[in-house]
Structure 1
């Protein structure tokens, strides 16, 4: 029984579990490509009013919002050459995605540059000064971590400011809480932009990626569930047959217990407890052994929640399979069973 449950759990982890691990890897890859992003770009001369930030932020399903001004040319203050890179004022609802500090000591006077921007500016130490074409100067305070949904702005240098100081907005980037909300949030956001000429506004979303993500997750999950159901159904049938045979072999023992005063419920509880105990040990051994095998083979490993669910399901299936044999054992006539030689 121990070996049977261990084998069934190992079979699930090595087949469906590996698929689940691969699925999570694929979904994570799609998420890193920005399956939750909405980008609004305004053409030159038709930038959005900063007031749009307050209106759009009222949409409760928005996880993050970033507003970027039109680019201003800037170059390394210590180098006299013709290398100019775009510098943008930016307001972000949260500094977390960009790995910015939560408190900016000198807002509007400090900037952060992406790795590619630092390289082009000749700032390997991630600090320095940038002279802007409008006559202002900013100090580079560190490196900016750029999420994939902002790669189209590369090389990127931002100057964090408040919502009112960001100026006319050239690019508005939004991420929603779940990929399935991209379409709904886009529709809710359109009337809040306040633009008089919609033809000068370009909106691009990750709706196609979000739909692909959902399709992949749904199809892989369906195939995994069917395989798990088959494995545990076979396990339950074999386990029930084994237990029935054991009950017949031990019928004299059960008859003796009944003759000594054991109730039917006690006999049923005794059988199911023994099965649960052995099944729990087998489930743990099967899950740990199969995950170790996947790790050695450098294959995708399912998450802790999946492995725990498999172990718990194996124990439940084992207990369910033991109910009928346990009832059969409990309903034996003690007098008749004690007569068995």
Structure 2
């Protein structure tokens, strides 16, 4: 291995023209792919992320007729499933008012389970069991000030008031909860639920997770459950990602194809100019595989230098001119593909040169 590395370095120095050409070509290829396809990939990821924020991973279970009897233990059980990011449930809607200023009304629901990041506390603190938080859309209607206040069911004015200890702002697919008061409840203290929201880890597991939820949700009558998945949003996501991805792949294929052609011409010229050196080595006992390995190692030195320079230049250019960068996996994939392109193009040329008859090459006319 040490001899191979030494021969590769010596060959790269002796064949400066080929090494420099490979360096320049691979640098241009990596730079061009990153500033074109890389920018498209970053834009695609950003668009897909925006679509995902609209709820492509959210599954909603509902008891529309009130006959399913979703158990209050459902959110904790479903949150423990693989492929689930979080889960929480909501109980029956109950109209509430502020006892101090009872002219305003809003709907309240018991909430069971940990509050997700999409329900951000913007005032006060998260609720403990028996306490409430108000959506930003109802704080004014209930006259809840900076210190917030209390609420009481309209239909049960004699009940103890519930302290409102915070306000939240819901975003994404849960934005409709901004007009609701959420009263935290422990599973053992809550009655049956009307809704359970489950966030999947990835869009790809939605179908499988839907089937699991239909059979794993604790309910008195599971057949009465309605399970809604964002099929339309997922289809839109796939169409947009597919079209953007197809355009990016076509552009990258063109750039890589041109680079492969230039590499092939460069390697063919370099091996032709070194045919006597190959013949002399074969005559001295070098194996064909050793010659091929030395040639590929020499090519890799120039290629790796160009890949490093081109990748660094492409990333710096994107960082300076755009608001987003492609993922490190994409950058590493481009670099690996460029090196594979070099080796794939150089291998048949090196093998052909190594299999030529050394006596015929060395024969003096």
- Alignment TM-score, normalising by the size of structure 1: 0.80
Please give the residue correspondences for 1:1-341 in structure 2 after superposition, counting only pairs within 5 Å: 1-42=22-63, 46=66, 49-51=69-71, 53-54=73-74, 57=78, 62-74=84-96, 80=101, 82-92=103-113, 98=119, 107-118=128-139, 125=146, 127-133=147-153, 134=156, 135-144=159-168, 146-183=170-207, 185-186=209-210, 189=213, 194=220, 204-298=228-322, 300-338=324-362
Counterpart position of 2:18: none
**Deviation larger for 11-20 or 310-319:** 11-20
Which runs of 5 or more structure 1 residues have no equivalent in the other structure?
A: none
Q: What is the number of equivalent residue pairs in this alignment? A: 333
Structure 1 pair 267/285, CA: closer, same or farther in 2 (3 Å)?
Answer: same
Give the drift of 1:28.
0.5
Runs of 4+ off more than 6 Å:
none
Give the drift of 1:258.
3.9
Contact 1:19-1:300 within 8 A present in 2 as well: no
C-alpha distance in 1 between matches for 2:261 and 2:206: 46
Structure 1 pair 185/338, CA: closer, same or farther in 2 (3 Å)?
Answer: closer
Which runs of 5 or more structure 2 residues have no equivalent in the other structure?
A: 1-21
Contact 2:90-2:193 within 8 A present in 1 as well: yes
SS at 2:244's partner residue? helix
SS at 1:163's partner residue? coil
Contact 1:117-1:154 within 8 A present in 2 as well: yes
**Deviation larger for 266-275 or 60-69:** 60-69
Give the drift of 1:182.
3.8
Contact 1:113-1:142 within 8 A present in 2 as well: yes
Give the drift of 1:235.
1.9
Structure 1 pair 340/144, CA: closer, same or farther in 2 (3 Å)?
Answer: farther
- Alignment TM-score, normalising by the size of structure 2: 0.76
SS at 1:83's partner residue? strand
Give the drift of 1:297.
2.4
Contact 1:74-1:130 within 8 A present in 2 as well: no
Give the drift of 1:188.
5.7
C-alpha distance in 2 between matches for 1:212 and 1:181: 17
Give the drift of 1:207.
1.2
Structure 1 pair 262/118, CA: closer, same or farther in 2 (3 Å)?
Answer: farther
Structure 1 pair 183/249, CA: closer, same or farther in 2 (3 Å)?
Answer: closer
Give the drift of 1:109.
2.6
Contact 1:75-1:121 within 8 A present in 2 as well: yes
Contact 1:183-1:207 within 8 A present in 2 as well: no
Question: CA offsets, 1:199-255, max 9 Å, x none?
Answer: xx7654311111221232233333433433333233223211211101112233334
SS at 1:144's partner residue? strand
C-alpha distance in 2 between matches for 1:6 and 1:196: 60
RMSD: 3.6
